[in-house]
Structure 1
Amino acid sequence: MGAPADGSKKRRREPHNVDVKLVELYEDLASEKDEIRLKAAQGLVSQFTPDKNPTDEQIKKALSRLFRGLCSSRKAARVGFSIALTEILTQVFLAPREPEAFSFSDALNLWDTQTSAAGSETRQEQRDHIFGRLFGAEAIIKSAVLFEPTVPFEQWTQVVELVLELAEKKPWIREECGWIIYQCVYDLAGRKMDAKYVQAALEGLCAHEIARSPEGVAIWLAAKDLYPKAKFPNNVWKHDDPLDTKERNSLSKIMKESGAAANEGEGKANVAKNSGVWNSKLHFAWDAVLSRTSVEAKDKTKKSRMTFSDFWTEVVDNGLFAAASSDERKYWGFLLFTRLINDGGLQQASHTFTKNLTRCLTNQLAVEDRYLHRMAVKAAKAIQARVSKEPEFAAAAIRGLMGTSGTLNFDQATKTKTVEKIVSEANHEALQEIVPFFEQLIQKPGTTDEKTAASNRQFVAGLLLSIVRSKSSAAEGDAEHLQAILERILSIFVRFAYFLDDGKSSTAPEPAVSSATQELLRNRINSCLNSLISNQKFAATIPYVVVKQIRDAAKSGVFGKFIIAIDDKLSESVKAAFKSLKKLSSREKKEKGMAAFKLLYSMTIMQVYNGDADAVSMLDELEFCHTKFLGDKETKTEDAGDASDALVEILLSFASKQSQLFRRMSEQVFGAFANQITENGLESLTSILEAKESLSGQQEMFEEQDDEGEEEGEDDDADMMDVDEDELDSDVEVVEAGASSSDDEDDEEEEEEANEEDAQEVAAFEAKLAAALGNHGLEGESDSDADMNDDEMDELDDKLVQVFRARRQETSNRKDKKDARENMVNFKNRVLDLLEIFVKKSHSRLLALDILLPLLRLSRRSSVKQIATKANNVVREYTKVCKGNALPKIEDDEQAEALWELLRSVHKEASHSGPMGHATACSQASLLVVKVLVAHDKSNIEGVVDVYAATRKDQLTSAKCHVQPSFFSEWNNWCVSASKQLK
């Protein structure tokens, strides 16, 4: 092939040796995996240790490569290259070197040239070079070579100058540049370097007009703390302190980067340009400032310095959270708030609930679509988490959210349960502040509008109830601390529920508490007691404290006029009751049963104060019971049985009310005296099970004699049961609520029957209406009324009035029937609860067997599945606890004969057709009676076999006998297990 036309010769490629291993190391320095980067950096640095004696060319080549690598756009390159660069600078320049060798000054020049951007690069390439220069500066400073005695001071100023120049020209990277200088101040102090190093940095800040910037503030404060004797530039800050009280306004503008922080008398000197870039992360200057503000100005040398409260109010609340602030500034504010709530001291965090902040928090929490809603949710959760970790913080949180800076009905406004959760977590120290604060809010709910005041008071009362509920299950040790708090809460309810202030005193509620609010507060008292009596520690004391508070306040008039009218006779009964209560309290620790009677007395007196007409007679009966049960030995005679019967009637009176409070109270008292229940008392319980679940059953049970009396009684009962929803018994179930999925067919049949009844009633009404109208019906001619004279029109009006009156009466009767059914179902539920307690406490008494037949009949007859199931459960529980020596004992032939009759009656009951649970209950009851008979005399097994044989014969021969097969299979199983003992 010939030579080229231009006569030039092709250049021969010179052989070039490539260090493949070194290339791989540089490649691995940019890896995204930490372990690969670190291993590569270690491998590269190992080549520049003093023992390897690297040449100047190797050093220069490596540093050039590393400085260029810092300008790479690869994600992890800057991290890996900066690590290697820092270590190589340390290895090379901290060791002694020849004067003519490659110097540290040469390295700085190399950094400057390799990271300088030429004018031809793209914008991204220019940004890469800027970051490369910044990372290079950081590596140089971290290597600590600058602080060596042999390194001239000018080289320090050269590095600082390049960094600050970068910060001035490129405001978007100013924070990173400032962070490097800020860290340098701490490094200088740690190395005990001369103050001139810090002074050079401060002068550089002023020279590049960034002293009055967030970065300048942080650097200045660090220098002020670590080098207090250094010479600071003049006319930058008042008293050379960014936190001077006279710098509040300027500092606020600087920290939110408003670009308007002009220095007084200096025009625009030292005023930094706005960075122009919003960062979702907090600037490091906030930590620098917050760490140097104290809750109180204790240092006399810094008496002009802002306290934390001053700083937070001016810079954060009036700055970041100002009404005109952008969402981005408020975002920073929420970050600061959350950080201080999580990590700040108790006093510091307590001062963060300022007016603009809490307003913004409330508004952002209330609406999910708002820009800062998620930040507000995080802030609310941070408050709850702090209280959970540090319960004493609850007081500050409550005052902050609901006080003058917050919103009284915070949870309602935000549609959250933030405050409710906080008060539930509060410990007794915090509650000592919270409870009086809530009392002030009820007294003065922050508004003169009566409707709003009632709503606010209801909200605060709900919070007080939440406290009681959360503390009602407190352990024994905590209960002693909480006792005073709980009594104070109930005292607050008593004050505003039972008394009316004349409005003249300074403590009078403004506006006056309405009657509806007073009724709500009385219901809140019942709700509190309902929770507290489940704890034995509180059940024996709190109810008594409440009624004593009412009595004492009524006597002294400290809370105003007592709203309950009590005549002389009732007053005497109450006075006698309190005397008995005093005696019970003195004997409570020594004698069993005193606490139960104390509870019963207290709750009966509460009923008196709530205006229950029956409570007076109940007090008299209680006095009789108290005398016979717990009086002197002379009085504990044959009348004890009558006292037991009277006690059962009192407890049934309480149990009949649709209230969990009275249910729990009756159960506790009944449990204490269950072993003293007589036959008559037990019959009072079982007779309720026999009553019909209807209006006639209710009339029979409550001895309502005529329709008028019935209506009056039901009206009274309805008024009595018109209580707050917290008071309603959750166990009350009527046929619509009690039926389960297995009862769907029955529900459908009942619904069809109800629809059919409705249709029949409508048809009957239309027939009566048509009969009354006669020839003037709706389908008659339109002018037919013109043929009627005045007498005929009056007669027609009378007929129509009668028809509609009858229709209204029928509707009223249907409602009465429904209400009566619900009342009876509730009553039977309560009686079954008492009977379950009775079998647990008195299962070894022969008397307990008397409940079997009523339970079995209830299981078969009740139209409410829940009632039938509950009756079966009581039978099952009874048979379960009657084992071995726990079986009832027969003492004479008369009792044995009664038991034989009971066995035959159970078998007769089993022959009736009933639900599946009924058959099982009959079998369990039968076997229980059999066990008692056989345990008394083994020879009774023959008679038992005869009874079962007779039942089997009836099953085979009588069409009316519907005994289930399981009845005999369970008998057979018992025979197999009992045969060994019988033999």
Structure 2
Amino acid sequence: MGFKRRREPHNVDVKLVELYEDLASEKDDIRLKAAQGLVSQFTPDKNPADEQIKKVLSRLFRGLCSSRKAARIGFSIALTEILTQVFTSPRETSRFGFADALKLWESQSNSSGSESGQEQRDHLFGRLFGAEAVIKSSVLFQPTVPFEHWSQVIDLVFELAQKKPWIREECGWIIYQCIYDLAGRKMDNKYVEVALERLCSHDLARSPEGISIWLAAKDMFPEATFPSKVWKHDDPLDTKERSSLSKIMKESGAGASESENKTNAAKSSGVWNSKLHFAWDAVLSRTSLESKEKSKKSRLSFADFWVEVVDNGLFAAASSDERKYWGFLLFSRLINDGAAQQASHTFTKNLMRCLANQLAVEDRYLHRMAVKAAKAIQTRVSREPEFAAVAIRGLMGTSGTLNFDQATKTKTVEKIVAEANHEALEEIVPFFEKLIQNPGTTDEKTSATNRQFVAGLLLSIVRSKASATEGDSENLQASLEQILSIFVRFAYFMDTGKGPSAPEPALSSATQEMLRNRINSCLNSLISNQKFAATLPYAVVKQIRDGAKSGEYGKFIIEIDDKLQDSVKAAFKSLKKLSGKEKKEKGMAAFKLLYSLTLMQVYNGDADAVSMLDELEFCTTKFLGDKETKKEDAGDASDALVEILLSFASKQSQLFRRMSEQVFGAFATQITENGLESLISILEAKESLAGQQEMFDEDDGEGEEEDGSDAEMMDVDEDELDSDVEVVEAGDAKSDSDSDDDEEEEEEEDEENAQEVAAFEAKLAEALGQHGADGEGEDSDADMNDDEMDELDDKLVQVFKARQQQSSQRKDKKDARENMVNFKNRVLDLLEIFVKKSHSRLLALDLLLPLLRLSRRSSVKQVATKANNVLREYTKVCKGNALPKIEDDEQAEALWELLKSVHKEASHSGPMGHANACSQASLLVTKVLVAHDKDAIAGVVDVYAATRKDQLMSKKCHVQPSFFSEWNNWCVSASKQLK
């Protein structure tokens, strides 16, 4: 081994050299082709000579000791096949036998001890790969091959395992695989018995490799004679071996006997490997099987094995990070590939504590492994939605953390519940109900936080399922109703009993308010789906009513007097009628929704909701009357309906906004002139405190305060705040206005504040008189008598009171402005629906001037832009046959006046977009007039001419050039039709 044999130049076989070179190639196809080429020279029909065989085997065994990356793979393949070809067929004339080949393997892979560390490592791996090739060639199992050779190979493999701990696993794997190969060949038990005997004699039985080999032998050769006194009942997985098993699987060496520890220090692998030992698969695959064999009655179940070996072993508090790393690998593997029942047992106490701790802090050693484990759960749920139930119980159950997402600063649970299907929800929703009932702590503050977290998860489920398709909605309906039922139970009722169903601790008023807001948030998402909008809001109010009657959930916390109770009863009667007609008559489902949400307002203690119920009753009576009555009263009912919807639209809640839009859309074609005027009057109101006082009575202030409850102190979910409460853009036009406007208003506010401060200081100085605040006046406070002191106190009280009133008034002005801007935005949303549904009605043209004036007058850019957008949408849909039609001369005369008013509006100086909006409005009226009478074009030209004249002659006329250029463009396109 320490020298190279000299070769004569003329003896070099170039082709053979190339084959050996190709065997070490890193490309699979080149290696395989070279192996085939070499093996083909040693088939029985070629009858190779002994010297040729010895030479090639020597070269291949030596090649296994090469440090080149792919050499061992290529040489091992060729060696296995050549051994098979040469020694499985009778060769009577040959003197080179299999025993000679084994000696050659030993000599070529033996190290003298003087080599470098890397060279020794290469020789050890060469011997290992040689053993694998010898065993895989099946020569050892030929009848002509002495049985002693099998013992010899086994001894060499186990001796190799003892030499270096880092090669022990590979040696064990070869024998482990061989057990299955022997079973496949139906070999005699003696082969396995020798392997087990040598395993014990080399003190490797109580090692991960030894356990694997033993278990494989037990399964494949149950009739074989096993070494005694190694394992209880000859089974490493016996319940009485659980402690030893745990220590061995951790490779701590503590599982070995005292004599074993003294004899052999190779019990532990010595060098940590980031890959899982194959023994884990060998053990796990057997603990997951339920066997009824008598000998296996005392075998560890998977759950017991996981708790003892993994949770109390790898994830023990004192366990190293490297052991916990293996634990995460095992957990991820079982989550990915294990059966759902098996995976459900892996969410154990120590593991879950470690997972939460590592997820929470990014710079922790195992953070990335924890993230992979969490993602493995999410991936399994995405692939198998019913697994969500297992995951939720594991993460939030007894061994997990109720507020897992908050503790880990992730959205793991939230994402999982969003993926859950209806089968999983059937388990998850009742589980969450129990967590709200009993949040796992008696501390009121912590229990409130836990309940809020669970309520947020229930809301996440609703939001994720709100857009379900028609087919899925049928399956999800029951779960969604159950979620709303849970909220109703805990939001509106107080169970003060001591029974198993009573919440412990009792829910605080703040928590109940939070749950009521969650109901609004749920309905806000659900009403966008027509299937849910027609059923779930009604189901909620019906459950509240039934629960209040029966007392099933405890005391109803909302006070309802007799008069209000009568209105509620009447409303439910109307709801019952609507439910019977909603499939036959258009708009009844929208009415049902409106009734349901109005009743929700009643149950939330809104005083205005009572009058709204009465107005709704009036509308319902008119709309559900006989055919003749319907026609006569439809206008009054429509006007009343608009007022109700405006009442909802004025509230700063997205739920009421969506509901008002949905109901308005169902009845938009029935809106009358009075109803439209109600909408227009809001657009023309001032964006100020005076405008608010004009639009609302004094009671509205209370309603506004109540509406703001969607953002209560407990509700800390930012995503929910964004969707539940629509932020009002006003004053500084926070999100949509130009930065210039922001700076301007801030400067004005600063200047106003400075003036107020100066005025306050002046009044304070005047009140103090000679007794200045700095105490340096001619007279000190000590010189003042009691009357003078009282007089000074009165003056100071008046000054500070005036200051407080001034500050309160400033806040009132700001709030009023924000309310008016919000209200106008909501009305513009309704008008956009109106123009889409009723653009062909002549009535819709009444919107042109109010929209143009709003575009010019509004101090908030967002409102002005939105007004222009509504007008643009209107003119966009009014084309061809969709144009409003004039029916008589009176209507035509009104349109001529409208055209002139639009031109007058165009002459005002306005913000960007106003001029274009005026032009669009003018052209729309022109199209309507010309469509009614082509000769009307002459009059339109005169109107444009008069406006052009004003532009030239009047300083007050600020009409933009684009107004006329767009008119000219229209004339060019319309000239052919007019002629």
Q: So what's the TM-score if we normalise by structure 2?
A: 0.96
C-alpha distance in 2, partners of 1:251/1:454? Answer: 44
Aligned amino acid, residue 137 of structure 1:
A
Aligned amino acid, residue 74 of structure 1:
R
Query: Displacement, 1:715?
Result: 4.7
Q: Who is 1:86 aligned against?
A: 80
C-alpha distance in 2, partners of 1:548/1:330? Answer: 52
Query: Displacement, 1:13?
Result: 12
Q: Who is 1:541 aligned against?
A: 535
Query: Displacement, 1:488?
Result: 0.2
Query: Displacement, 1:530?
Result: 0.1
Aligned amino acid, residue 835 of structure 2:
V
Q: Who is 2:745 aligned against?
A: 750
Candidates 770, 781, 784, aligned match of 1:775: 770
Aligned amino acid, residue 815 of structure 1:
K
Query: Displacement, 1:238?
Result: 2.0
Query: Displacement, 1:269?
Result: 9.5
CA 1:624–1:533: 2 relative to 1, 3 Å: same
Candidates 718, 721, 729, aligned match of 2:708: 721
Asked whether 1:871 is paired with 2:867, we answer yes
2:733–2:861 contact (8 Å) kept in structure 1: no
Query: Displacement, 1:53?
Result: 2.6
CA 1:42–1:680: 2 relative to 1, 3 Å: same
877-886 or 682-691: bigger deviation: 877-886
Q: Who is 2:790 aligned against?
A: 794
Query: Displacement, 1:793?
Result: 2.7
Candidates 965, 976, 980, aligned match of 2:961: 965
Q: C-alpha offsets along residues 36-72 of structure 1, whole Å, 9 cap, x if unaligned?
A: 4333333333332333332211211221122122222
Q: Who is 1:198 aligned against?
A: 192
DSSP-derived class of the 1:776 partner? coil
Q: Who is 1:908 aligned against?
A: 904
Q: Who is 2:890 aligned against?
A: 894
State, as a whole percentage, how many aligned pairs show the same letter.
83
Asked whether 1:323 is paired with 2:310, we answer no
Aligned amino acid, residue 931 of structure 1:
K
DSSP-derived class of the 1:636 partner? helix
C-alpha distance in 2, partners of 1:739/1:317? Answer: 52
Q: Who is 2:660 aligned against?
A: 666
Candidates 931, 935, 938, aligned match of 2:931: 935
Q: Who is 1:230 aligned against?
A: 224
Asked whether 1:764 is paired with 2:751, we answer no
C-alpha distance in 1, partners of 2:338/2:422? Answer: 22
Query: Displacement, 1:296?
Result: 4.8
Q: C-alpha offsets along residues 90-113 of structure 1, whole Å, 9 cap, x if unaligned?
A: 222223212552111100011112
Candidates 214, 221, 233, aligned match of 2:215: 221
C-alpha distance in 2, partners of 1:127/1:523? Answer: 69
Q: C-alpha offsets along residues 658-703 of structure 1, whole Å, 9 cap, x if unaligned?
A: 0110000000111111111111111000000000111111011114
46-55 or 410-419: bigger deviation: 46-55
C-alpha distance in 1, partners of 2:556/2:494? Answer: 7
Uncovered stretches (5+) of structure 2, i.e. residues with no partner: 1-5, 712-720
Q: Who is 2:818 aligned against?
A: 822
Q: Who is 2:233 aligned against?
A: 239
DSSP-derived class of the 1:722 partner? helix
1:341–1:383 contact (8 Å) kept in structure 2: yes
Q: Who is 1:565 aligned against?
A: 559
Query: Displacement, 1:643?
Result: 1.2
CA 1:262–1:746: 2 relative to 1, 3 Å: closer
1:739–1:864 contact (8 Å) kept in structure 2: no
C-alpha distance in 1, partners of 2:8/2:19? Answer: 25
Aligned amino acid, residue 304 of structure 2:
D
DSSP-derived class of the 1:564 partner? coil
C-alpha distance in 1, partners of 2:886/2:34? Answer: 94
747-756 or 251-260: bigger deviation: 747-756
C-alpha distance in 1, partners of 2:610/2:703? Answer: 16
Asked whether 1:28 is paired with 2:58, we answer no
CA 1:293–1:269: 2 relative to 1, 3 Å: farther
Aligned amino acid, residue 915 of structure 1:
P
Q: Who is 2:718 aligned against?
A: none
Query: Displacement, 1:731?
Result: 6.0
Q: C-alpha offsets along residues 774-815 of structure 1, whole Å, 9 cap, x if unaligned?
A: 233346626732443333332222222211111111111111
Query: Displacement, 1:607?
Result: 0.3
Query: Displacement, 1:367?
Result: 1.2
Aligned amino acid, residue 717 of structure 1:
E
Asked whether 1:882 is paired with 2:882, we answer no
2:950–2:957 contact (8 Å) kept in structure 1: yes
2:770–2:777 contact (8 Å) kept in structure 1: no
Q: Who is 1:860 aligned against?
A: 856
Query: Displacement, 1:767?
Result: 1.7
C-alpha distance in 2, partners of 1:914/1:737? Answer: 18
130-139 or 467-476: bigger deviation: 130-139
C-alpha distance in 1, partners of 2:787/2:809? Answer: 33
DSSP-derived class of the 2:732 partner? helix
C-alpha distance in 2, partners of 1:727/1:503? Answer: 36
C-alpha distance in 2, partners of 1:925/1:299? Answer: 89
Q: Who is 2:717 aligned against?
A: none
Query: Displacement, 1:755?
Result: 1.8
187-196 or 962-971: bigger deviation: 187-196
- Aligned-residue CA RMSD (Å): 2.0
Q: Who is 1:850 aligned against?
A: 846
Q: Who is 2:490 aligned against?
A: 496
Aligned amino acid, residue 284 of structure 2:
L
Q: Who is 2:729 aligned against?
A: 733
Q: Who is 1:709 aligned against?
A: none
Query: Displacement, 1:281?
Result: 0.5
Q: Who is 1:303 aligned against?
A: 297
241-250 or 277-286: bigger deviation: 241-250
C-alpha distance in 1, partners of 2:244/2:941? Answer: 103
Q: C-alpha offsets along residues 191-227 of structure 1, whole Å, 9 cap, x if unaligned?
A: 2211211111111111111111111111111111111
2:598–2:613 contact (8 Å) kept in structure 1: yes
1:627–1:635 contact (8 Å) kept in structure 2: no
Q: Who is 2:680 aligned against?
A: 686
C-alpha distance in 2, partners of 1:603/1:325? Answer: 57
Q: Who is 1:657 aligned against?
A: 651
Q: Who is 1:520 aligned against?
A: 514
Residue pairs, 1:149-160, within 5 angstroms: 149-160=143-154
Candidates 564, 567, 571, aligned match of 1:577: 571
Q: Who is 2:130 aligned against?
A: 136
Candidates 795, 801, 805, aligned match of 1:805: 801
Query: Displacement, 1:744?
Result: 2.7
Q: So what's the TM-score if we normalise by structure 1?
A: 0.95
2:169–2:277 contact (8 Å) kept in structure 1: yes
1:72–1:78 contact (8 Å) kept in structure 2: yes
C-alpha distance in 2, partners of 1:477/1:13? Answer: 80
Aligned amino acid, residue 959 of structure 1:
K
Aligned amino acid, residue 363 of structure 1:
N
C-alpha distance in 2, partners of 1:269/1:540? Answer: 79
Q: Who is 2:714 aligned against?
A: none
536-545 or 672-681: bigger deviation: 672-681
Q: Who is 1:402 aligned against?
A: 396
Q: Who is 2:918 aligned against?
A: 922
Aligned amino acid, residue 529 of structure 2:
N
Q: Who is 1:4 aligned against?
A: none
182-191 or 568-577: bigger deviation: 182-191
DSSP-derived class of the 1:404 partner? coil
Asked whether 1:592 is paired with 2:586, we answer yes
Q: Who is 1:422 aligned against?
A: 416
C-alpha distance in 2, partners of 1:618/1:804? Answer: 42
1:165–1:208 contact (8 Å) kept in structure 2: yes
C-alpha distance in 2, partners of 1:576/1:67? Answer: 97
2:256–2:267 contact (8 Å) kept in structure 1: no
Uncovered stretches (5+) of structure 1, i.e. residues with no partner: 1-11, 705-711
Q: Who is 2:779 aligned against?
A: 784
C-alpha distance in 1, partners of 2:263/2:473? Answer: 65
Candidates 409, 425, 432, aligned match of 1:438: 432
C-alpha distance in 2, partners of 1:748/1:411? Answer: 40
Q: Who is 2:3 aligned against?
A: none
457-466 or 954-963: bigger deviation: 954-963
1:321–1:357 contact (8 Å) kept in structure 2: yes
C-alpha distance in 2, partners of 1:14/1:940? Answer: 114
2:771–2:777 contact (8 Å) kept in structure 1: no
Q: Who is 1:294 aligned against?
A: 288
